Structure 1
Amino acid sequence: MSDTSGSQTNITDGQQVQLLERVTGSVLTTLPCCVFLFINVTMLFTLRSKPVFCETSRYVLLYNLLFADTVQMALGHLLYLISASRLILTYPVCGFLILLACFTITISPLTLLVMSLERYVAVCYPLRHTTIITIRNTGVAIFVIWALGSLNILTRVLLLLEFPFKDLESLQMKDFCNDVAMVLGPRSNDYDRAFICVLFVSAGVAISFSYFSVIIAARSASTDKASARKARNTLLLHLVQLCLILSTTMFTSLFMALSGILTRILFVRFYIFFYVCISLFPRCLCSLIYGFRDQTIRPVLMHHLCCGFLKPAVSNSKRDRATPGIVLH
């Protein structure tokens, strides 16, 4: 009798410890996520607060990148909280969330690719920048980006439909909802790997090409050295962002492999740390980099972040509109 009571006590203690771990992990990740979401949403509002932001191509592209990153951050944390709460979803619900997350994560590298080409044109062809990089052409580029993302989702849906769901006893999943759990079948797995490889290699080649082209152009006597240097730094930041986005796509697979090696306590601690650093923080990095580096955005962003207590400095909008290829973020 005493042995039974002791075992029940141990089970209860173990459940309490696991509950405490889940609550602690959820709090430690939700707090920075809320802060990052606040910064991103404020940045999105800032980029729609003045005509100069809506009528300049690089700011329109930045808005598109930020929007995708913000949605991705919110979806990723929602999936994290669902897993931390030990909620088992059905395949249709999980598939919808994962496909939406895959859609937004496709937008970011493609937008970085277009932003890099815009910097390349601004430095290497400054006289033709205003005729090539127009709001209309930027809108077409964004449409193509979202169309490619939609095509990727459509292909994934068709591959998911090949899975024999009718043979399952129930549509209830046996594991937590994540991108690896929704890779059903070898064809789906092969397509996922091939698409990620083509996507990130293409973006990496475009950014690298733009970066080295700007370096070569900087040696020309007719090129503005300061503008070329800023463009070079911006393209280098694009490359870092691309690497961080790529790391988020491998996050789940990496920790599924580590789950069989590390102890539970170490696994939870490593997961929380890397989740914040690899999955959450890179999604806010764009706002921090461009918001504080760009002299046009910075005062307006600080005004909104301080809830209106800090008045923005008066900027010369005509100058901003007249030289879109020279003022670099």
Structure 2
Amino acid sequence: MALNNTTLHSDVINSSVRLINEKVLIVQVLVMVFLYINSLLIFTFFKKETFYTNTRYIFFAHTLICDCVFLFMSDLLLVMSYFRILMPAGLCVIICVVMIILTFATPLTLTAMSVERYVAICMPLRHAEISTPHRALYGILVIHAFSILQSFVVLPIFVVSVPLSFYITDRICSVEMLIVNSWQSHLKSAASQFYFLIMSSTIIFTYIKILKAAKIASTDTKKKSTSKCLKTVILHGFQLVLSLFQLWCPFIEMAVLQIGNLELFVTIRYLDYLAFILAPKCLNPLIYGLRDDHFYIVLKNYAFCGLINKISPAFTEK
């Protein structure tokens, strides 16, 4: 009987290990697919001057680059954590700070893109003056400045709380390592939710304004353009909501961990990573890479290695 129990326990362990391996493999496949798609979109962006001289596409490329770097880093930490690979603490701190910055860079850029659509629809006569490549680059600098402010919530307290010898020790890298006090976690969450409140309010404001413009649109062309902008803003809002859920995941995961159910904790953390980290990163190609007619035509041409040459005259090579 004891032998049977031992065999059953061994089978459960082996099954769990196999299941975890399958989960990690699924994540690797999804990450590679998303990185490939985003890389193809970035390549398409830089191949056409029409794109990198347009504010909307500049913001789009910025989100793609941020998402690629974030996906690569988060997946790297996931694999190293799974295989229990240690990393120098000093290097881990740098990676964690970059990930915190990128976590907010994408939703802030989405907000800027919604504002750009608002200017295009509601202020068409000033759009060419306001929406320029130089202003877009300044906007990206502002976005990263606000993103860096988030790291100041945790980094200074962490620096004064740990000895210098800590930075040369080898540890399993995790963003949670920067949280040295429980109140620090609550402060970080409050600051983050304040950011998302401002961003959500901005997106709602742009949606209402564009909706009003749609009701008074006089021509079919303008109505179609306004309707497409409304759908884009809605998708930005949905992606922002997914990013907000990402901030709540650590609290849910820690609550489950305190219950003592390790298997449930691993499952929830896995699902959180798929739903609230990977999923928002795949929405960018859907919103602009596929929905934008001009971008899609050029993207399709490069995706099929030039076999499809049905490119409009405005986008042919000079």
Provide TM-score, normalisation by structure 1: 0.83
CA RMSD of aligned residues (A): 3.0
Whichever residue aligns with residue 249 of structure 2, its letter is: F
Q: Which residue of 2 aligns with 1:304?
A: 302
Cα displacement (A) at 1:115 = 0.7
Measure, in 2, the Cα distance between the counterparts of 1:154 and 1:20: 40
Measure, in 1, the Cα distance between the counterparts of 2:86 and 2:12: 21
- Identity between Structure 1 and Structure 2 (%): 28
Aligned to 1:254, what secondary structure does the other structure show? helix
Aligned to 2:177, what secondary structure does the other structure show? coil
Query: 2:196 matched to 1:200?
Result: yes
Measure, in 1, the Cα distance between the counterparts of 2:280 and 2:17: 29
- Worse overlay, 7-16 or 203-212: 7-16
Cα displacement (A) at 1:7 = 9.7
Q: Which residue of 2 aligns with 1:60?
A: 58
Cα displacement (A) at 1:87 = 3.3
Cα deviation code 1:278-315 (max 9, x no counterpart): 22121111112211100011122223333x05424222
Measure, in 1, the Cα distance between the counterparts of 2:149 and 2:202: 21
Cα deviation code 1:62-97 (max 9, x no counterpart): 011111112111112112112221335454333222
Residue from 181, 185, 208 that aligns with 1:212: 208
Measure, in 2, the Cα distance between the counterparts of 1:43 and 1:247: 26
Cα displacement (A) at 1:21 = 3.5
Aligned to 2:275, what secondary structure does the other structure show? helix
Q: Which residue of 2 aligns with 1:275?
A: 273
Gapped regions of structure 1 (runs ≥ 5): 319-329
Aligned to 2:233, what secondary structure does the other structure show? helix
Residue from 176, 180, 183 that aligns with 2:176: 180
The 5 A counterparts of 1:39-118 are 39-118=37-116
Larger helix proportion of the pair: 2
CA change 1:262–1:225 in 2 (3 A) is: farther
Provide TM-score, normalisation by structure 2: 0.86
Are the counterparts in 1 of residues 63 and 106 from structure 2 also a CA contact under 8 Å?
yes
Are the counterparts in 2 of residues 207 and 235 from structure 1 also a CA contact under 8 Å?
yes
Q: Which has the higher contact order (CA 8 A, sep 6+)?
A: 1
Whichever residue aligns with residue 203 of structure 1, its letter is: M
Query: 2:314 matched to 1:317?
Result: yes
Cα displacement (A) at 1:263 = 5.1
Gapped regions of structure 2 (runs ≥ 5): none
CA change 1:180–1:132 in 2 (3 A) is: same
Aligned to 2:47, what secondary structure does the other structure show? coil
Aligned to 1:314, what secondary structure does the other structure show? coil
Q: Which residue of 2 aligns with 1:321?
A: none
CA change 1:81–1:250 in 2 (3 A) is: farther
Whichever residue aligns with residue 179 of structure 2, its letter is: V
Q: Which residue of 1 aligns with 2:124?
A: 126
